[in-house]
């Protein structure tokens, strides 16, 4: 039964499958026919649409071509019109230029004609001028060259007179305006600065208790004196001077060390190489301490702060340096005070003026060790220790070697001259003093028209007598100026020199 049921079910399944397959095939065939029909309709419709689109595009293209052609024709027409207008303008300009050229040619012809007439007139004028000049020379009995020379002399004389008058007027005006104020400033600065200005000696002399001490200083076979000279670098001069030994050396600090050492040895009484070495070492420490103290004293006294320690030490060394008998450290302090006072009166930088004034002669502390002038050495030292450029310029310019760039540099220059020029501040040896006087008179006598000259007041004034028949009043003013320029360029001197040119007219008659 089961097998029959299974076989029946299988047969039923098989029949159902065949039936469904047939139905499916029928539907597939119908679908394929429908698809073919739809495809044929679509192709027909697409072909119709494509033809329509093609026709529309051809129509649009033709319309665009027609539009472009119309615009092109219009543009060509406008360009032709522009070209025609430009051609007309060019033609008008050419016509105008042609007319102007014709006018210029006419003017040139007229100018040439007038030039020819002017040349003829000029020739006639020159001929008449020569004729008149010849007649004038004949009437005046004066040639043209002589007349020209006479006129030039007259003009030259008038110019000399006017120049002298102008110089005199300018000087008088400047003096009226500046002399009073300058006198007040300088006098006030000098009066308010009470620095000592007594001259100091530069010779180091050690007094001895007796002449027997000279032999002990020399020592057996000169060993003591050689030891002293070797350790200090100073020469000992032991001569016939009673109870005195002279110390000679370019370095003032070494000379001071030698002086102190010798005085200690004389006081102690024990003089031998070992004791000499001990005393020199002790004196060296003392002098170094004094140098430092003096440098600090100078900065405190002038209120100059912030200096490099080495600059302070070099300032202290100036205590033992003199210039024409004037102590350089005291001179530097005095210059700082005077420059600061004048700067205060003029509204300048007081601190800068004092600093530059205190350091202006710093080069003299080592000028016996380094080659060059104390000005150059001082400038190099200031640069080395990073001093202000204005201070360096004041140091370099205080003797006029370079141009001062600030008012403080000018004040330092003036203060240096004031400190050196005051009576008793410096001394000169007889030979240089006489030479300066002779040079002054030689410069004055070299000028034409000078009859005599006299250097007076220790060379601070020169009086010049001129010949009244050779030099007139106007020329005396110019001569004084020229002599001053020669003195300033050829001589070195402290302070200032007054040049006094004197012209007098003497009338002498004799009653018989």
The string of DSSP codes covering 417-453 is HHHHHSTTS----HHHHHHHHHHHHHHHHTSTTEEEE
Q: Which residue range forms the structural domain that includes residue 327?
A: 204-421
Domain annotation covers residue 265: yes
> Average pLDDT in the 80-89 region?
90
> Average pLDDT in the 434-456 region?
87
Domain containing residue 450: CATH number = 3.30.300.20
State pLDDT tens for residues 179-222. 666 666 665 555 555 444 433 444 577 778 887 787 888 888 88
280 in Cβ contact with 263 (< 8 Å)? no
Structure tokens at 421: 């020029």
Same domain membership, residue 340 and residue 382:
yes
Sheet containing 498-502, strands listed edge to edge, beginning at the edge strand earlier in sequence: 450-456, 461-466, 498-502
Same domain membership, residue 476 and residue 369:
no
Same domain membership, residue 272 and residue 169:
no
Domain annotation covers residue 299: yes
Same domain membership, residue 322 and residue 188:
no
456 pLDDT tier (thresholds 50, 70, 90): confident
- CA-wise closest residue to 206 among 283, 295, 278: 283
How many distinct structural domains can be found in the chain?
Answer: 4
Q: What is the pLDDT of residue 196?
A: 46
260 in Cβ contact with 287 (< 8 Å)? yes
419 in Cβ contact with 338 (< 8 Å)? yes
Give CA–CA dist 481/488, Å, rounded.
11
What's the CA dihedral at 108, 114, 119, 123 to 10 degrees? Answer: 170
Mean pLDDT of the chain: 80
Same domain membership, residue 114 and residue 160:
no
Same domain membership, residue 373 and residue 245:
yes
Give CA–CA dist 335/302, Å, rounded.
10
Domain annotation covers residue 251: yes
Same domain membership, residue 135 and residue 157:
no
State pLDDT tens for residues 118-166. 888 888 888 888 887 777 777 766 666 776 777 777 777 767 767 777 7
Domain containing residue 372: CATH number = 3.30.1370.10
Domain annotation covers residue 81: no
State pLDDT tens for residues 393-423. 989 988 877 888 888 888 888 888 777 765 5
Same domain membership, residue 289 and residue 334:
yes
**Sequence-ordered list of residues with C-beta below 8 angstroms from that of 201, at least 6 positions apart, any chain:** 322, 325
Domain annotation covers residue 176: yes
State pLDDT tens for residues 321-353. 877 667 888 888 989 999 888 888 888 898 999
């Amino acid at each position: 039964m089961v097998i029959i049921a299974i076989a029946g079910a299988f047969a039923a399944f098989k029949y159902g499958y065949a039936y469904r397959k047939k139905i499916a095939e029928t539907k597939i065939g119908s679908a394929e026919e429908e698809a073919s029909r739809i495809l044929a309709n679509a192709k027909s419709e697409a072909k119709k649409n494509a033809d329509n689109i093609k026709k529309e595009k051809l129509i649009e293209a033709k319309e665009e071509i027609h539009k472009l052609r119309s615009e092109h024709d219009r543009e060509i027409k406008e360009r032709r019109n522009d070209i025609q207008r430009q051609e007309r303008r060019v033609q008008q300009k050419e016509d105008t230029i042609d007319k102007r050229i014709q006018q210029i040619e006419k003017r040139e012809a007229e100018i040439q004609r007038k030039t020819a007439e002017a040349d003829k007139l000029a020739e006639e004028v020159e001929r008449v001028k020569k004729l008149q000049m010849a007649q004038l020379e004949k009437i005046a009995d004066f040639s043209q060259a002589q007349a020209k020379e006479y006129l030039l002399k007259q003009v030259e004389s008038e110019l000399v007179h006017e120049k002298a008058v102008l110089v005199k007027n300018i000087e008088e005006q400047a003096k009226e305006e500046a002399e009073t104020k300058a006198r007040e400033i300088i006098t006030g600065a000098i009066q308010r600065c009470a620095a000592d200005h007594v001259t100091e000696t530069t010779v180091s002399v050690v007094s001895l208790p007796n002449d027997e001490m000279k032999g002990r200083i020399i020592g057996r076979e000169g060993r003591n004196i050689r030891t002293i000279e070797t350790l200090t670098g100073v020469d000992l001069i032991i001569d016939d001077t009673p109870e005195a030994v002279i110390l000679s050396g370019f370095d003032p600090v070494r000379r001071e060390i030698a002086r102190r050492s010798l005085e200690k040895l004389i006081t102690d009484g024990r003089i031998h190489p070992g004791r000499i070495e001990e005393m020199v070492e002790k004196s060296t420490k003392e002098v170094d301490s004094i140098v430092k103290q003096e440098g600090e004293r100078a900065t405190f006294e002038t209120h100059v702060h912030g200096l490099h320690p080495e600059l302070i030490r070099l300032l202290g060394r100036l205590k033992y340096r003199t210039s024409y008998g004037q102590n350089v450290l005291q001179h530097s302090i005095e210059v700082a005070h005077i420059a600061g006072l004048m700067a205060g009166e003029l509204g300048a930088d007081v601190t800068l003026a004092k600093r530059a004034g205190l350091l202006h002669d710093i080069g003299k502390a080592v000028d016996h060790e380094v080659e060059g002038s104390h000005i150059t050495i001082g400038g190099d030292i200031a640069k080395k220790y990073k001093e202000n450029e204005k201070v360096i310029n004041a140091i370099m310019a205080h003797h006029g070697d370079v141009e001062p760039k600030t008012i403080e540099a000018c004040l330092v220059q003036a203060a240096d001259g004031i400190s050196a020029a005051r009576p008793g501040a410096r001394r000169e040896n007889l030979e240089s003093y006489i030479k300066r006087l002779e040079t002054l008179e030689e410069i004055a006598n070299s000028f034409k028209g000078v009859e005599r000259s006299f250097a007076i007041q220790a060379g601070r004034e020169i009086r010049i007598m001129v010949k009244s028949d050779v030099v007139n009043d106007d020329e005396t003013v110019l001569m004084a100026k020229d002599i001053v320029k020669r003195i300033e360029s050829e001589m070195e001197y402290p302070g200032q020199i007054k040049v006094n040119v004197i012209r007098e007219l003497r009338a002498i008659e004799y009653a018989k």
